[in-house]
Each structure stands twice: as structure tokens, then as C-alpha cells.
């Protein structure tokens, strides 16, 4: 199930993603913020022997502003001396919010096109629902026939730069759900045929999904600062040619400075902003759906990366997606107990209700873990 989550990022990332989503009928260019001035951050990556970067461009240059030579998705061959991949280091299918549903079952609930049924009254494990496997075009109702696939296989993430992450970041990648297609429910047979292969070795048999598959692959690699090989780039270009308006991949030289330097999606003003200017404006915990409204009352764009909202009742926690920006005077509604397409002003958190009607408190935490705002259910 495709959910076009609004995932704003600045600098070249905007241009890449804008070009991609517009090309395939997703968010328009006007939906994506472009005014943020880029800064640089350093990340830990292998030192490849050869490296370049690529940008995804539409054929009509007037639809996307000119880009600089600073690129975000690095093209690099896999170094021969990487540490060995150990799947146990990438701990997955955890129950992060302690509601008895691990990541696999959270994903099954999220992606089902019909109301799911559970194996027991505890509602921990999904038994049946309705899922569309975009890899094959098959519809499945029995959850035991499904695997939850990592769009970027864990072994591929390891080879692309994830080898340098600590176990906490590896687990975060393995259980990431804020980007709609980072994890995706597909038939077990399709998932096992794909294995750890990149698009240069395996593509979905459903060619109608190639465009979205390539877009998601590139977006996730950009989000997590993972590299791609030249063969991978060529395969992605082939898949992108199936989009309604074909983007092209343009190879450029790496930056003059260290190849481990990439553009950050936040202007300096946003990074150093006053947290108290972002607050919980209202909460409706008795409606269906439930809605918590977060607003930015300040004069600067706020980067919400690593910000969280949690409830006092059952300890559910929502993590804002990496690179999510709130503009001055804007607000975003966090919805639970409903479903729909995410935008820059509405994010669908969970399809089931979260807040305790008998008394609950929503708390907003900044990246340091400090409570900056709270509001009780009326």
C-alpha cells in the first residue's frame, strides 16, 4: 500500500525527491520546502576507492531549480575489506511501544486494506486481513503467507555504509516505520527470491511497481546516508524510465572536501531554535479519529528530527520522521484511529486509537529528551 508521506528535506534532497515524486504523480513541487540553506554534517562511512554522486532530474529543467555540485546520494563500490555482516546485529521485530505488537505486526496492521483479525483476544499477532503485494500484484488475506521486507535489505545497508553504525542505529533502521515503504508486506516467496539483492540483481516481477520501487530505494538511501554502486545506479535508471515522466540519473564528481560530508536538511536557525516555540496546541482524545495538533509559533523553520510525542497511559511513542520540517506559524495534526495519506500538515500515526479516554496526557519531547509541552485530555 503506497502512502505518499510528505518527507521534506532541503538542499539537493528536495530537488531529488521533488523530481521523483512529481515524475510519478506524488507530491508537487509546491508541497516541498525549498528555502532552507544547506549546512554540512559529518557521517561515518567507508572510504571507497572510487566515488561519485548522482542526482535524479526530470527532463524538463524548468520544473526543478538548478542544483549545485553538492550531492547527497554517493556512488561508491563496496570496499573489499568491510567487517563481516551479522544479521543478529540488526535487531528487528521489536516491540518499541510495549503494546505487545512487534514491528512485523505493526506493519501488517498499517498496510492492511481491510480490518485485521488477531490470533487471540490480546490482539498481539495478526491472523488475517487484506494485503496487496506490489512486487507480484497478488492480494493476500492470510498473514502467515507474508514477510515484512526491508526495502533496502539489511545486508545491502551494511555494505552501503551501515557497517559503521552502532547496534542502536542498526536496530532503528531495521524497525523504521515512519517512512511508508521502508518496511513493506509482500509474499514470502517474493521476499525470499529478492533476498539481499539490489535492483541490479533483482526487480519486482510487477513492472508497474518499478517506478515507485526505485523512488523509495533512492529516498531511503538518501535518508540514511547509504551509498549505491554504479551497477545499482544503472538498474535504478532502468526502473525510473517506467515512470510517467522519466527522471534521469546524472553522475557528477564528488565534492572537493571529504566524501563523508553531506548536505544537512536544516538551516542553522532551525537547528538552534528555541524548543519552547513548538508546542501541543490541542488534543482530541475521545474522537474517532483522535487528533493531537502540534504547532510552531516561532519565526524560524523547525527541524523535528528526533522529536517525540508520547502518552502517559500505555506509553505509545510517536517519533517525527527524519527531516520533517515545520515552517513558522504552521501546525501538523497527529492522527490515531484513522488512516489516509500523510501530508505536511497531517500525519497518520496508528490505525487504532492510542489515548486513554479516562485520563491521559500528551507530552512533546525535544531531541535532548526534555519535555517542552504537555496537554491533558479534556
- Residue 344 inside a domain? The answer is yes
Q: Where does the pLDDT of residue 178 fall: very low under 50, low under 70, confident under 90, or very high at 90 and above? A: confident
- Residue 137 inside a domain? The answer is no
- Residue 144 inside a domain? The answer is no
Average pLDDT over residues 66-75: 48
Host H or E run for residue 192:
helix 188-194
Average pLDDT over the chain, rounded to whole?
Answer: 75
Identify the domain containing residue 302 by its residue range.
Answer: 269-376
Q: Is the pLDDT of residue 17 over 80?
A: no
* Separation of CA 257 from chain center: 28
**Looking at residue 331, what is its pLDDT?**
92
CB atoms within 10 A of CB 289: 19
**Looking at residue 166, what is its pLDDT?**
93
- Residue 273 inside a domain? The answer is yes
**Looking at residue 313, what is its pLDDT?**
62
Percent residues over pLDDT 70 in the chain: 71
- Residue 152 inside a domain? The answer is no
Comparing 146 with 64, the larger pLDDT belongs to 146
Q: What is the pTM of this model?
A: 0.54
CATH number at residue 302: 2.60.40.1260
**Looking at residue 72, what is its pLDDT?**
61
Could you give the number of structural domains in the chain?
1
State the virtual CA torsion across 226, 309, 344, 3 in degrees, nearest 10: 60
> pLDDT (tens digit, 9 = 90+) per residue, 322-370?
888 898 889 999 988 777 777 888 898 877 777 877 778 899 999 888 9
- Residue 333 inside a domain? The answer is yes
Q: Where does the pLDDT of residue 248 fall: very low under 50, low under 70, confident under 90, or very high at 90 and above? A: low
Q: Is the pLDDT of residue 63 over 60?
A: no
Please state the φ and ψ torsions of residue 14, each to the nearest 5 degrees: -55, -50
Q: For 206-242, give the DSSP string.
A: -GGGHHHHHHHHHHHHHHTT--B-HHHHHHHHHHHTT
Q: Where does the pLDDT of residue 245 fall: very low under 50, low under 70, confident under 90, or very high at 90 and above? A: low
- Residue 215 inside a domain? The answer is no
> Of the given ranges (90-99, 104-113, 286-295), which has the lowest mean pLDDT?
286-295
**Looking at residue 278, what is its pLDDT?**
93
Q: Where does the pLDDT of residue 153 fall: very low under 50, low under 70, confident under 90, or very high at 90 and above? A: very high
- Residue 372 inside a domain? The answer is yes
Nearest to 338 by CA among 377, 292, 294: 292
**Looking at residue 255, what is its pLDDT?**
31
Cα dihedral across residues 213, 214, 219, 220: positive or negative:
positive
Q: How far is CA 220 from CA 128, 155, 187, 297, in A?
A: 29, 15, 21, 30
Amino acid at each position: 500500500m503506497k502512502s505518499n508521506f510528505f518527507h521534506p528535506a532541503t538542499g539537493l534532497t528536495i530537488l531529488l525527491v521533488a523530481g521523483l515524486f512529481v515524475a510519478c504523480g506524488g507530491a508537487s513541487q509546491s508541497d516541498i520546502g525549498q528555502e532552507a540553506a544547506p549546512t554540512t554534517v559529518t557521517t561515518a562511512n567507508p572510504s571507497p576507492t572510487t566515488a561519485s554522486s548522482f542526482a535524479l532530474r526530470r527532463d524538463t529543467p524548468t520544473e526543478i531549480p538548478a542544483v549545485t555540485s553538492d550531492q547527497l546520494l554517493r556512488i561508491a563500490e563496496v570496499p573489499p575489506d568491510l567487517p563481516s555482516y551479522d544479521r543478529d546485529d540488526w535487531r528487528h521485530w521489536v516491540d518499541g511501544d510495549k503494546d505487545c505488537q512487534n514491528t512485523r505486526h505493526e506493519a501488517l496492521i498499517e498496510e492492511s486494506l481491510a480490518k485485521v483479525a488477531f490470533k487471540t483476544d490480546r490482539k498481539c499477532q495478526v491472523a488475517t486481513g487484506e494485503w496487496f503485494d506490489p512486487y507480484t500484484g497478488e492480494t493476500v488475506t492470510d498473514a502467515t503467507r507474508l514477510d515484512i521486507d526491508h526495502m533496502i535489505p539489511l545486508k545491502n545497508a551494511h555494505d552501503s555504509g551501515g557497517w559503521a553504525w552502532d547496534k542502536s542505529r542498526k536496530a532503528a533502521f531495521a524497525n523504521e516505520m515512519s517512512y511508508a515503504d521502508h518496511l513493506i508486506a509482500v509474499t514470502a516467496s517474493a521476499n525470499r527470491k529478492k533476498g539481499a539483492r539490489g535492483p541490479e540483481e533483482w526487480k519486482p516481477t510487477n513492472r508497474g511497481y518499478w517506478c515507485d520501487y526505485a523512488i523509495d530505494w533512492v529516498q531511503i538511501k538518501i535518508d540514511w546516508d547509504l551509498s549505491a554502486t554504479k551497477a545499482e545506479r544503472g538498474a535504478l535508471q532502468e526502473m525510473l524510465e517506467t515512470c510517467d515522466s522519466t527522471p534521469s540519473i546524472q553522475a557528477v564528481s564528488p565534492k572537493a572536501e571529504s566524501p563523508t560530508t553531506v548536505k544537512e536538511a536544516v538551516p542553522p536557525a532551525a537547528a538552534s531554535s528555541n524548543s519552547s516555540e513548538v508546542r501541543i496546541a490541542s488534543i482530541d482524545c475521545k474522537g474517532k479519529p483522535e487528533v493531537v495538533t502540534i504547532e510552531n509559533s516561532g519565526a524560524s523553520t523547525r527541524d523535528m528530527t528526533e522529536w517525540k510525542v508520547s502518552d502517559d497511559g500505555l506509553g505509545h511513542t510517536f517519533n517525527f520522521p527524519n527531516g520533517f520540517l515545520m515552517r513558522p506559524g504552521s501546525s501538523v495534526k497527529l492522527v490515531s484511529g484513522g488512516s489516509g495519506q500523510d501530508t505536511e500538515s497531517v500525519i497518520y500515526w496508528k490505525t487504532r486509537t492510542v489515548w486513554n479516554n479516562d485520563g491521559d496526557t500528551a507530552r512533546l519531547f525535544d531531541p535532548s529528551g526534555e519535555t517542552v509541552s504537555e496537554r491533558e485530555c479534556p
